[in-house]
Chains A and B, each alone.
Chain A
Amino acid sequence: MSQTWCLAKFNQPVEARAAIRRLLQSGVDPQSMDVMTSQPIHGEPFLPEKKPTKLFAWALSGAALGMIGGFSLATFSALAYPLVKGGMPIVAPWTVGLITYETTMLGAVLATLAGLLVELRLPSFSGRPYDPSVVDGGVVVAVPYSDRNRKAVEEAVHAAGATTVNWV
């Protein structure tokens, strides 16, 4: 059965915070709620972080993989078909260093992008609550509801000053 959502829109974050406090008091699980805005909000978060981001670890892992890959590519391709150049090394350290450097960076870039998509579970084109009016400003609080707690949710968001409430 698909989840039903209450999408309450507030003009100001202070109102959204008040609504969230009331919802938590009425027993709504904070992990189940979402807060949507048209821009990042600096300062205290609306909701506790479900899981801290590991994007930096993603980037480091990608860089390490890129480094190993680039080093192996430059080294083993030189050894696979050795070109003798008058006493110069077959595996040239400067060349290997240069290729390794670039592939390290490439690995970090690709892993950061991959990490972002994995952590946010994107792309995702259906099933998640969304109110398109959020792009014109304000804060939208998405709360899952059932017949059992619909009245409590409705009271909480209205008492905090929601300008519009949609039930989807």
Chain B
Amino acid sequence: MAAETPRFTEARINRDLLGPLFKTSAIYYVTTGFLLLVAMVVFVAWGLQLKYGIGMAGKNRPSYWGLYITTFVFWIGISHAGTLISAILRVVQAEWRRPITRCAEAITTFALVTGSLFPLIHLGRAWLFYWMIPFPNSRHLWPNFQSPLMWDFIAINTYLTGSVTYLYLPMIPDMAVARDKSTGWRQPMYRTLALGWRGTEREWVRLEKAISIMALVIIPVAVSVHTIVSWDFAMTVMPMWHSTIFGPYFVVGAIFSGIAALLIAMVMIRKYFKLEHYLQPVHFDNLAKMLLTMSLLWFYFTFTEYLVTWYGNEPAEMTVFWSKISGRYAPMFWLMVICNFIIPFPVLAIKKLRTIPLIFMASCGILVGMWLERFLIIVPTLVHPYLPYNYGHYWPSYTEMAIAGGTLGFFVLMYFLFAKFSPMISIWEYEEGLQVASKHRGELPDPTFVGQIAPGDVHPGH
């Protein structure tokens, strides 16, 4: 049953949404401390790898890509949760988007930061990463833009720049609210971040215009990023990496895992920061329907991908195919199908089962399934190249496992710290939603009423 909607006023919304910024519970410190420890595992393991060499990773001939690239693709996929979904919902003017856009956009930013670590870790000699920056070095050599590594570098940087901008622009008015409500050391920080925002008519018009432009620009960028990640694979001469739907298959998987990550984040934020009145069941229900659509699409794409391989019956591809369906990787493959389709489909399709706890569990399963999908795209192909005498075996080392697993803690830590520094629901967009909802119900004397919200006001999304 939906929580009873209280009467919202700007003052109340400010108090509720800024509360987590100014009050810190003991459990927050404990959780943050734990996450810090987990995140440190990444950097300790990476430090050891830098000291003793890339041999500490389990990569070996013929599998030079393993857990690092799997996890890189996974995090870049998660990054599609935010900016892309938020931009699509803004462009189609879905009113129910308002309480979820900030949560989503923050996921993109931090997932991209986390994912971007992996190419550096994978490079081995990470201190030479600046060779990718386009400037001529002492031998007048430029980066080779024909290398897919450079495509990733340019695409991810573009997406990260766009995502940070797209996250920051709607935050400016909220930073101004925080500036006016905070004291002590926080005030100069929020004052700087608010840039002197006053909320004038001129400022609002331009901010909304800038956000609209950004939303239009960021959608094709998001699609291009994961398509380019798929081309990293397609550029090689390896079996099962050349289907015509490889780009869209990656994008569908990315959006699928992204929505699942967003739902998990929303459940945690709702519970942890006591935002039940703001993140209501309707928001989960709508996102769950999107997740169901993506689950069906993912299944369709996966089925098509494997069907075409099977029909083609090309020996090298069939070796990889059977290793997944009934060979060494079959347990992972079928677990992936269970996590990504067999469990989520009924949970998300049957209205009675589409409850917040079950959506949360289905989303967790989807993340596991999507990580497995990335692993299954990469490793079975690499250990079964075209020439059979090159067949090999891959098992990740403890260093790889520590780094790949630890980045989950690193990501959650950054997200947690961000939630202490910015309201996780956009204050002004939420208030605007109440105004729009009231206007649609014709409750207000002035159609552009802005002040105290009328009694019995409706919740955005209802």
Contacts and interface: CB of A to CB of B under 8 A. Distances in A.
B426 to A, nearest CB: 10
Contacts of A44: 448
Nearest to A121: B196
Contacts of A12: 445-446, 449-451
Interface stretch (B121-129, B155-163, B289-297): B155-163
Interface string B228-248: 100000000000000000000
A11 interface: yes
Interface in B423-462: 427-428, 431-432, 435-436, 439, 445-452
B377 to A, nearest CB: 21
B217 interface: yes
Contact of B142 (A39, A77, A123): A77
Interface stretch (A21-29, A106-114, A146-154): A106-114
B448 A36 contact: no
Nearest to A41: B448
A13 B126 CA distance: 57
Nearest to B227: A98
A105 B158 contact: yes
B330 interface: no
B145 A77 contact: yes
B452 A112 contact: no
B158 A34 contact: no
A134 interface: yes
A81 B206 contact: no
Contact of A80 (B11, B140, B177, B208): B140
Chain B contact-residue range equals 35 or more
B450 A135 contact: no
Nearest to A132: B180
Interface in A15-69: 34-47, 49-50, 53, 55-56, 59
B201 A35 contact: yes
A63 to B, nearest CB: 8
A160 to B, nearest CB: 13
A11 B436 contact: no
Interface in B141-198: 141-146, 150-151, 154-155, 157-158, 161-162, 165, 169, 173, 176-177, 180-181, 191-192, 195-198
A101 B217 CA distance: 11
Contacts of B436: 42
Interface in B196-232: 196-210, 213-214, 217-218, 220-221, 224, 228
A155 interface: no
A99 B154 contact: yes
Interface residues of A, number: 67
B204 A37 contact: yes
Nearest to B174: A135
Interface string A108-146: 111011011101101111101110101111110000000
A53 B201 contact: no
B309 interface: no
Given A102-B158, A105-B162, A11 B451 contact: yes
Contact of A39 (B209, B431, B447): B431
Contacts of A123: 192, 195-196
A49 B452 CA distance: 26
A81 B146 contact: no
B276 interface: no
A78 B196 CA distance: 45
Contacts of B221: 102, 105
A136 B14 contact: yes
Contacts of A35: 200-201
Given A12-B449, A37-B204, 10 more contacts: A34-B200, A38-B173, A39-B431, A44-B448, A49-B205, A77-B134, A80-B140, A102-B154, A102-B158, A135-B180
Which 5 residue pairs spanning A and B have beta carbons closest together? A77-B142, A137-B10, A124-B196, A40-B204, A123-B195
16 contacts: A13-B446, A37-B204, A40-B428, A41-B450, A42-B436, A42-B439, A53-B206, A55-B206, A73-B134, A109-B217, A115-B210, A116-B210, A132-B180, A134-B199, A135-B176, A136-B9
